[in-house]
Amino acid sequence: GSLLVEKRWFGTVSKVLMARKCGVSIVFLKEGHRLEFDDLEDATSALKFKGVVFNEMKGAMSSQAAQFSKKLASYVYPTSTYHHNSGGEPVDIPDLTYSDLVEFHRTHYHPSNAWFYSYGDMPLATTLEKVEQLALCNFDKIDV
């Protein structure tokens, strides 16, 4: 029922925000990019770029339709967020440094830049109090 939905919603909100508080170094190792030997047992094998986001973006941008759509959006929306490829251009991802990622994450994934939505039979005042207690009290407000 409603209590289970509330518990799941608050659990998700607090996990996401607390993961942000813990830093991104572990996430970067998995999600970012890295060089890895083609054969992990053979240090003389070729090096390849690996990483969840790198591979996802290579797949997402592999079709001509995807490339056309992204290029069109960059011209139609030159001053908005749609101008950019939200996952990163695969060719540019290897140039991303850890410090670049940390700074971007620190600004754009901060609770000060978040919108909270709830749906269903959850009283607003109680919901906002729990968000404050479970997560927001752990962060200082920043100008985004």
Label residue 126 exposed, middle or buried (CB < 10 Å: 0-12, 13-18, 19+).
exposed
pLDDT for the residue numbered 41? 92
| Contact by Cβ (8 Å): 13, 134 | yes
| Contact by Cβ (8 Å): 33, 95 | no
Q: What is the pLDDT along the chain (144 residues), one digit of tens a residue?
A: 455 555 565 565 555 555 555 555 666 777 777 888 999 899 999 999 888 888 888 888 889 999 999 899 999 999 887 888 877 888 888 888 888 877 877 777 788 888 878 778 888 898 888 888 877 888 888 887
**Other Cβ atoms closer than 10 A to 22:** 9
